[in-house]
């Protein structure tokens, strides 16, 4: 086979979730519904936080940033898949593939880091309630979000650079519905050892840091809650951070599922199902999870809906 540099590859063929023509309308309707629910749910949270002054707190500021990242994360993969199904053309340009890789890791890493920032916010609120206003000042909140974005941008550009250095052969077919790096590495005709090492190290560091921060924050939170004398106080404290803990479990649980499935199974179908849970289902469910038992946010959302009606 003829070896080409990435600049010589004009486009890739995305095989998608299924090649069965009869399933395409069903897949289009299902993913269009999930995408619209994701975008609408997350944008409603952003609108509610921005339009109601009593929600102008660090917790809701971080939540609105997380909703924005979820919207971008879902749009990166689902929108292109919907276009491909509708137009019956499953190709993506080489530049489009690199762009998709870049934004996929940008928003994915940003999601992870913002979950760690929210965990830190809960840690300060529960463990140091008297010092919370002095610690979580607006400039610190903005700095945490900016730092999360810059780290995510650095990771995404590193992944993009590693992919741009790969050499591919002609007739490149990606057995996925988006440009997934593990699939690209397997299809490369050039030596991928350096790219594998760099991608592994960057992914491990960017994943280890937020997970460590979340574990440490919740260790201190649980230790502080257990010292509360009344059972009612403990229950209230646990329910306060329960929604965030559910989001953490959903995000990292599906992320771990993608990793384990990719490592233990060569079946493209299983890998894609795990990726759908990670990149599509999780951003869709986050707004509902965070709205549960949150009367302030729920009330703001209902006021927006009634005003629009």
204's CB contacts (< 8 A; 6+ apart) are: none
CA distances from 216 to 33, 56, 63, 239 (A): 37, 26, 20, 19
Letter string b/e over residues 27-54, b meaning 16 or more CB atoms within 10 A of that residue's CB: beeebbebbebbbebbebbbbbbeebee
Q: Write out the DSSP string of 231-295.
A: HHHHHHHHHHTHHHHHHHHHHHHHHHHHHHHHHH---HHHHHHHHHIIIIIHHHHHHHHHHTT-H
Q: What is the CATH number of the domain that holds 117?
A: 1.20.1070.10
pLDDT given at position 277: 76
The pLDDT of 167-171, averaged and rounded, is 73
pLDDT tens digits for range 244-298: 777 787 777 767 666 655 555 555 556 677 778 778 888 888 888 877 667 777 7
Give the number of other CB atoms < 10 A from CB of residue 274: 20
The pLDDT of 149-165, averaged and rounded, is 91
Tokens 């006021």 -> residue: 303
Residue 88 lies in domain: 3-308
Question: Cα–Cα distance between 129 and 146 in angstroms, integer?
Answer: 25
pLDDT tens digits for range 92-117: 888 889 999 999 999 999 999 999 99
Question: Cα–Cα distance between 136 and 134 in angstroms, integer?
Answer: 6
Which of these, 85, 83, 77, lies nearest to 20 by C-alpha position? 85
Q: How many domains does the chain have?
A: 1
Q: What is the percentage of the chain residues whose pLDDT exceeds 70?
A: 85
Question: Cα–Cα distance between 219 and 225 in angstroms, integer?
Answer: 10
CA distances from 26 to 177, 187, 221, 294 (A): 15, 29, 45, 34
| Mean pLDDT of all residues belonging to the chain | 82
Question: Cα–Cα distance between 156 and 149 in angstroms, integer?
Answer: 10
The pLDDT of 185-200, averaged and rounded, is 81
CA distances from 309 to 258, 299, 302, 304 (A): 40, 15, 10, 9
Band of pLDDT at residue 2, cut at 50, 70 and 90: very low
Question: Cα–Cα distance between 23 and 301 in angstroms, integer?
Answer: 36
Tokens 């945490």 -> residue: 144
168, β-bridge pairs: 4, 188
């Amino acid at each position: 086979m003829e070896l080409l540099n990435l600049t010589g590859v004009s486009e890739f063929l995305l095989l998608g979730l299924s090649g069965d023509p009869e399933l395409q309308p069903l897949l289009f309707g299902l993913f269009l519904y999930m995408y619209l629910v994701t975008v609408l749910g997350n944008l409603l949270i952003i609108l509610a936080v921005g339009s109601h002054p009593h929600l102008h707190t660090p917790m809701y500021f971080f939540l609105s940033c997380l909703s924005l990242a979820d919207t971008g994360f879902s749009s990166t993969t689902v929108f292109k898949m919907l276009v491909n199904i509708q137009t019956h053309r499953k190709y993506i340009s080489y530049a489009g593939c690199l762009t998709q890789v870049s934004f996929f890791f940008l928003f994915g890493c940003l999601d992870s880091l913002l979950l760690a920032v929210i965990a830190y916010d809960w840690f300060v609120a529960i463990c140091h309630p008297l010092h919370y206003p002095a610690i979580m000042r607006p400039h610190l909140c903005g700095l945490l979000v900016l730092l999360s974005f810059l780290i995510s941008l650095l990771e995404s550009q590193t992944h993009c650079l590693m992919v741009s250095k790969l050499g591919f052969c002609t007739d490149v077919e990606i057995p996925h519905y988006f440009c997934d790096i593990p699939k690209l590495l397997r299809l490369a005709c050039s030596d991928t050892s350096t790219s594998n090492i760099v991608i592994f190290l960057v992914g491990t560091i960017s994943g280890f840091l937020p997970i460590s921060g979340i574990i440490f924050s919740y260790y201190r939170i649980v230790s502080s809650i257990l010292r509360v004398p009344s059972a009612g106080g403990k229950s209230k404290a646990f329910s306060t951070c329960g929604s965030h803990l559910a989001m953490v479990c959903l995000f990292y649980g599906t992320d771990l599922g993608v990793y384990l499935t990719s490592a233990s199974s060569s079946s493209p179908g299983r890998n894609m199902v795990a990726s759908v849970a990670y990149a599509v289902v999780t951003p869709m469910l986050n707004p509902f999870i965070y709205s549960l038992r949150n009367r302030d946010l729920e009330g703001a959302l209902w006021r927006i809906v009634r005003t629009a009606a």
